């Protein structure tokens, strides 16, 4: 499996935002993340870090 978990970084802490993310797409309101089940979330954030080996996407609010 190639999906990753997305975390939102706040004050140095990482909080799980969405599990099993399959797609990250630029959106007019920030980023649209879609999981393997087709659930979508949109967040006004930027990608701070991608750790593909660890299957982690770290987001920071803009």
pLDDT band at 2 (very low <50, low <70, confident <90, very high): confident
What is the edge-to-edge ordering of all strands in the sheet holding 30-35? Answer: 40-43, 30-35, 13-27, 4-10, 56-61, 45-51
Predicted pLDDT at 1: 65
56, 52, 28, 55: which is closest to 42 by C-alpha? Answer: 28
Instruction: Assess if residue 55 is contained within a domain.
Output: yes
Domain count, the chain: 1
Contact 43, 17 (CB under 8 A): yes
Residue 12, domain extent: 4-36+46-61
Whether residue 21 is contained in a domain is answered as yes
Q: Is 24 domain-assigned?
A: yes
Q: Is 27 inside any structural domain?
A: yes
Q: What is the pLDDT of residues 15-62, one digit of tens each?
A: 999 999 999 999 999 999 999 999 999 999 999 999 999 999 999 998
Residue 41 placed within a domain: no
Q: Is residue 57 part of a domain?
A: yes
């Amino acid at each position: 499996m190639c999906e990753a978990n997305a975390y939102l970084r706040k004050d140095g802490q990482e909080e799980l935002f969405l599990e099993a993310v399959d797609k990250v797409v630029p959106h007019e309101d920030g980023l649209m993340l879609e999981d393997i089940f087709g659930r979508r979330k949109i967040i006004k954030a930027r990608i701070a870090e991608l750790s593909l080996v660890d299957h982690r996407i770290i987001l920071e609010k803009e």
